[in-house]
Structures are given as C-alpha cells and as structure tokens.
Amino acid sequence: MEGSVLVVEHDGALRELMASNLRHAGYNVACAEHVAQAAGLARGSRPDVALLDWAPGEPGLTFARQMRGDQRTADMSIIMVSARSTEPDRIAALESGADDYVTKPFSMRELLARVKAVVRRRAPQLADDILESSGLRFDAAARRVTAGDRELDLRNTEFRLLHFFMTHAHRTFSRRQLLDAVWGEQSFVEERTVDVHVRRLRRALTQTGHDGLLETVRGVGFRFRPDAAALSTPTLSSAVLDLARSGRLRPRIAVAVPSMA
C-alpha cells in the first residue's frame, strides 16, 4: 500500500506509535504536534490522509474546514481522532469535513483499517486490490500485470500509469492531469513526456492484444475503456506469437492446381 499520511497528535508517545504502525503498513508518514504546524505540512506535501487530533484547546474543526476550503488540500481525506465520544461531537466533526471519526482509546488495527478504507474511497489508485479488465489482470501488491499465462514487463512509470487508468476507467484525462496524478504535482516534467510513456504502455499491451483499451481523445488527452473490445479482433495465441518472433513460423502458400477435366 502506497500513500502518504499526516499524523497530527499532541501526545508524543501516541504520535510515534501511530506513525510507526503506519510506516510498517507501507505509508509515507509526516508528523505534527499541533494544528499550526500541520497546516504548513498539509499544504506543502499534500498528504492523502490526515489523522487529526481533536483535543481541548486544539481547533480541530476549524482546521478541517480550512483544509476543505483550500483547493490545494480539498481532496485530502481527514480522520478525526478524539476522546470526545458523544453523538453531537461525531456529527460536528463529519459536518466540518471529516471523512471518518475514531474515538480514543483505539487499537492500531482499527486505525489502519479506517485509513485504508478512506484511501480506497478517495484515491482508489492507491489500494492494493486486484484489478481485471478484458482479461488483463493487475496485481498491485505483487507488482504483476498478466493476461492469461503471459506476464507484461512494465517499467515503473508505465506500471503506475496503467494502474491509474484502470482505477479511473472511462474518464478522459489531459496530459497535465496525468502528470499531476502519476508523476506528482511537484514534478517538473514536460507534458509531452506523457506521450512517450503512453506509447511504451501501448507497446507492452500490444503483446496481449490489449492496446485498444487505451484510447487517444483528440485534442484532449487519453482514456481507458474496458468496453473498447480490445480483443474484438482475433489475436494470435502466445505460442504462435513466440514462433513468429523467433522466425520459426513460415507462411504456407497454397497453389491452385488446374483441373484436368
């Protein structure tokens, strides 16, 4: 599981315990002792999830509203963590923009499960779920892409690009949107770089006849269409393709023999 989490917790021991468990689960973690420190981290690193301590004297609700109102952090998931356990408190947190609410004390297993759930809802491309489309199988946890008994050899960027497309099927993305989503918003890369990696990805998908799933939308960008009938035209079996590449497969020419009648 990839993704970034901002832990905002005034209790130092609890903060380190939360951060340690999150790192062990595969997340990149940043920590803040209070909301004032967290604001700068949230706007600078733009984490996927913020675990926000709502303690006496801490403006947790105000911070949540500010993050929701700021375009740079509007998409960040917020899980409010608090010893306040009444229904009005939970409702106030959710209405202020929190995606979930965890009451102290809590187990680390519960916390990790809630983080994974909000990440899956808000950023499905970060989940480890196995994806399948028209016979193409994407296993993020094992880092494998297969079609039947064939495994596609993808570079890291093409792997992340395919993952993003498969988790956002049918939607058209501009080159800038793809750069922000796959390369990161802090990346200084030319937009035409996207074309290079899309070509590489298509070339890899051609091996199994799935290149038709990735469409170019003229004047806009690209989209992934599982219903594009990537296998609508007959494709050669992997064994035949291997023979053709090796040069051992030679075409047979049929010669018509005129009738003697």
Render pLDDT for 53-104 as a digit per residue (tens, 0 to 9): 987 776 888 889 988 888 778 778 899 999 998 999 999 999 988 889 999 9
Report all structural domains of the chain as residue ranges with CATH numbers, in order of start.
4-126 (3.40.50.2300), 131-246 (1.10.10.10)
Render pLDDT for 21-41 as a digit per residue (tens, 0 to 9): 999 998 889 999 988 888 888
Lowest mean pLDDT among 58-62, 123-127, 153-157: 123-127
Q: Tell me: pLDDT of 223 over 50.
A: yes
pLDDT band at residue 15 using 50, 70 and 90 as cut-offs: very high
Look up residue 256 and give its DSSP letter: P
Q: Which of 197, 225, 199, 222 is nearest to 212 (CA)?
A: 225
Beta-carbon contacts of 223 under 8 Å, excluding residues fewer than 6 positions away, are 165, 170, 171, 172, 173, 214, 215, 217
pLDDT band at residue 48 using 50, 70 and 90 as cut-offs: confident
Residue 261: the pLDDT is 45
Q: What is the DSSP string of 23-41?
A: HHTT-EEEEESSHHHHHHH
Beta-carbon contacts of 227 under 8 Å, excluding residues fewer than 6 positions away, are none
Q: What is the end-to-end Cα distance of the chain in Å, rounded?
A: 75
Q: Return d(Cα 177, Cα 183) in angstroms, integer.
A: 10
